Amino acid sequence: MGPKRTLSERQGIDQEAALDSSVEDPALTSMEVVMNPLAAMPCPASPFSFDRRRLKIDWRLLHGVDVDRVVRETDLDLLEKVVSMAVYGDLEAEDPEALSPLNFGRICRVAQLTGEYLLHVQDRLALENSQLKEDRLKASKYNEALRLRIKEQRESGRENRRELRRAQRSLRAYEGQVTELKAQREALLTEIRHLKGDMQAANAQVFTGCGLLIELSSPHIHRGGGAEARSRSGQ
């Protein structure tokens, strides 16, 4: 058997075990915990039933507990040492001589302190239960708002995808127009080059014709000029 743990230590261990079981459960994904925070809570305990076991009361141990110290320092660990005898002690099996007013008063006092602590635990659990209900209501409202937000985001995403497809179709149409304009530009440039070539050929023909005319007219000009010079000299 391992070392005996105190009441406060056992409470801390139980809480840690509950948290560990909720975290390590592979069925509880992060999204499930967000959408349903109560899914991470441990399952409720089994219904209460009275225990039939009974213990022999150790009156020496019972009187060894300083009740005033327990009350003064709220020493729950010290109370725990005798709480089992106060709860499960078999008074009917005790020797009537052992049930002296002193012994009976001591076990009653321990039982009173135990009951007082249990009432505190009951109030604490009731408060925590109320807080859990409020948290559950808030979580439910948050989940509903989250579902609506997700629905809006999905609708917005679908609309954005439709808009993107329309933009892609428009882009492809513009690209086709640009390609067509480029082809028209190339055709115009080709036509301009052909026109330039034709103009250059026409200019060359004109220049050639002018040169021939000049060459053909040059002898007549020289002959006419000589006759005129001779007539002037004869005069």
Q: Tell whether the model's pLDDT for residue 164 goes beyond 90.
A: yes
pTM of structure: 0.45
- Amino acid letter at 102? L
* Strand partners of residue 89: 55
pLDDT for 162 equals 93
Sign of CA dihedral 204, 205, 210, 213: positive
Query: 10 Å Cβ neighbour count for 86?
Result: 21
Q: How does pLDDT run across 72-112, given as a tens digit for each residue? A: 888 888 888 888 887 887 777 777 777 788 887 888 888 88
pLDDT for 62 equals 82
Domain residue ranges in the chain: 17-167
Q: How does pLDDT run across 34-74, given as a tens digit for each residue? A: 444 444 455 566 787 777 777 787 888 888 888 888 888 88
Q: Tell whether the model's pLDDT for residue 174 goes beyond 60.
A: yes
Given a contact cutoff of 8 angstroms between Cβ atoms, the answer to whether 85 and 61 are in contact is yes
Given a contact cutoff of 8 angstroms between Cβ atoms, the answer to whether 22 and 28 are in contact is yes
Phi then psi dihedrals of residue 89, to 5 deg: -65, 130
Given a contact cutoff of 8 angstroms between Cβ atoms, the answer to whether 34 and 55 are in contact is no
Radius of gyration of the chain (CA): 56
Given a contact cutoff of 8 angstroms between Cβ atoms, the answer to whether 76 and 117 are in contact is yes
Angle between helices 7-24 and 76-88 (to 10 degrees): 90
Residue 1 — pLDDT band, cuts 50, 70, 90?
A: very low
Could you write out the DSSP letters of every residue in 49-92? ------B---HHHHHTS-HHHHHHHT-HHHHHHHHHHHHHB-ST
Q: How does pLDDT run across 121-162, given as a tens digit for each residue? A: 899 999 999 999 999 999 999 999 999 999 999 999 999 999
pLDDT for 154 equals 93
118 vs 44: which has the higher pLDDT: 118
pLDDT for 31 equals 40
Taking residues 209-216, report their average pLDDT.
72
pLDDT for 30 equals 41
Burial class (CB in 10 A: 0-12, 13-18, 19+), 229: exposed
pLDDT for 191 equals 87
